[in-house]
Structures are given as C-alpha cells and as structure tokens.
Amino acid sequence: MTNCDGTDGQCAHCSGGTPFEFSMAFQPIVNVAQRDIYAYEALVRGINGESAFFILNQVTGELLYRFDQACRVKAVELASRLGMDRPLSINFLPNAVYEPEACIKATLEVSERVGWPVDQLIFEITETEKVRDRQHIKDIVDAYKEMGFTVALDDFGSGYANLDLLTTLSPNKLKIDRELVMDCDQDFRRQSMLTALVTMGRCLDMELVAEGVETVTEARWLMDAGIYLQQGFFYARPAFEHIVRDLHEAFDAVHQAPANRLTSISDFETP
C-alpha cells in the first residue's frame, strides 16, 4: 500500500481543497419501532441544490482523495451548524483511503473544532467497482471501529456490495439496497431474502437498515420482520442544507397500518 507522506501525519494525497464548491443535503434514518430519528445521512449536492451526479461528474481521479476528505469536513461542519442532535452518516470510497489513521486526521480535527463526538459518526462503505484488495478494506473497517466510529456497508445486495464481502468484513450495520426492499410487502422472493438477512444479522451482530422505503406497506412489513432502522422517500426526501425533524405523521401511518403476516411458501402453491 502507498504511504501517506504529509505533514503532521496528514495524508499528502488527501490534503488541499477542490476546484469546485459543493454542499450537503441530509436524509433521516429512522427507528420506526421507537418512532424516532436514529441518524442522518449526508448526501453531496451542488451549492444551489444540484444533484449528486452534477458534483461527482467533476471528480477526477486525481481529485478523489481530496474530495473524499472535503466531503467529510463539509458534512461535519454543516451538521454542527444546523444543530443536528443525532449521529451523522457519511459515505466514503475505500479506494479514497490510503491509510486509515492518516486519512482520518482531517475528520478528527474538524470534529474536535466543532465539538462533534467521534462516537456520533457513521461511515458508509460505498463500492463503485469490484473489490480487488479485501485486506485493505478490512484494515479500514477494523481501524475505524477501533477509533470508535460505526461502520456500515452501503447498498448491500446490489452492485458490488454482495454477500461474499461478509466473509472478510465485519461492519456494524448493513444497509439493504432498494432492489431488495422494493415491494417487499407482496413479493415472496424478497421476503425470503430479507428474513434470511434478519437471521444473519443477528448471528453476525450486525444491525440492518432498509434503504429506499417508499410506501407505508413496505415500512410496516419491514418493521414486522424485525428491520426497524429504515430510510427512504416515505419518511423524507434529502433536505438541502436542512434537517427534517418532525416525522410523527409517517410513524403514525406505519403503526396504524394493518399488521402484516409474513408470507409463507404455501401462499404461492397451487391448490
């Protein structure tokens, strides 16, 4: 692995700014069983609210490391300024981390400056290409957990975040991709996979977070199945430079919806 040769232990590849400005939107992650907001995920946006794609399309290979650091700093600074009182979840690309201890220094410095507790930071591993260096990612996960951070594996069940990664990695949380969540209240195949994930999560001591929840029936089925941490448009869309705090109507709708019976294979058998 390439060494980080910066001043004061700071990663030389990560230091410096970006040639473009950007900001953040925040989307709540809820605990529907407790009817409360568990955390907020920071999502990159343009300074006028432009999409994440608008910004990411400007990130060249040589800017990747600096951009990753700048996103962490921006997310912590803005969350603090907005008075966020829940954990903050930040995405990162493992290929943008040379050495965990050096590359995290800017995040630790801004957290200390604004008074953000380390144990209130969640880092979501986002994989955009096939994992070639499992040991590198494992080292990042282990180091971040040792530092007191929570680590989540994002988009699980889609793209490159597949089951085989868990033979190496031990994240605190699995964020289940929308592809598995979609129509889970009526799709037996998705129900079977999700209930298997609930069992696996308990065995491996990993909490599950359902991403992309868009309907009350999906939310209720997931809650009944034991997946209490949820995120998606049903609760709130990402809010640009703003924090959504009142989700009582959404929580009421889920708890008032008819209870779901977990579908069994017998329901799909022909009489």
Instruction: Flag whether pLDDT at 132 surpasses 70.
Output: no
| Measured distance CA(84)–CA(91) in Å, rounded | 17
Q: Residue 263 — very low, low, confident or very high, per pLDDT cuts 50/70/90?
A: low
| Measured distance CA(110)–CA(95) in Å, rounded | 22
Q: 127 or 31, which is more confident?
A: 31
At 17, the amino acid letter reads G
Q: At what angle do helices 188-203 and 216-225 cross, to 10 degrees?
A: 40
Nearest CA among 238, 227, 131 for reference residue 175 = 227
Per-residue pLDDT reduced to its tens digit, 187-220: 999 999 999 999 999 999 999 999 999 999 999 9
Per-residue pLDDT reduced to its tens digit, 184-193: 999 999 999 9
What are the Cα distances from residue 180, in Å, to 113, 192, 219?
40, 10, 13
Are the C-beta atoms of residues 25 and 244 closer than 8 Å to each other?
no
So where are the chain's domains? Answer: 22-255
Nearest CA among 102, 110, 105 for reference residue 42 = 110
Are the C-beta atoms of residues 165 and 153 closer than 8 Å to each other?
yes
Q: What is the pLDDT of residue 1?
A: 40
- Angle CA(221)–CA(37)–CA(169) in degrees, nearest 5? 75
CATH of 22-255, one of 2.20.25.240, 3.20.20.450, 3.40.50.2300, 1.10.3720.10: 3.20.20.450
pTM (global) more than 0.95: no
Q: What is the pLDDT of residue 264?
A: 54
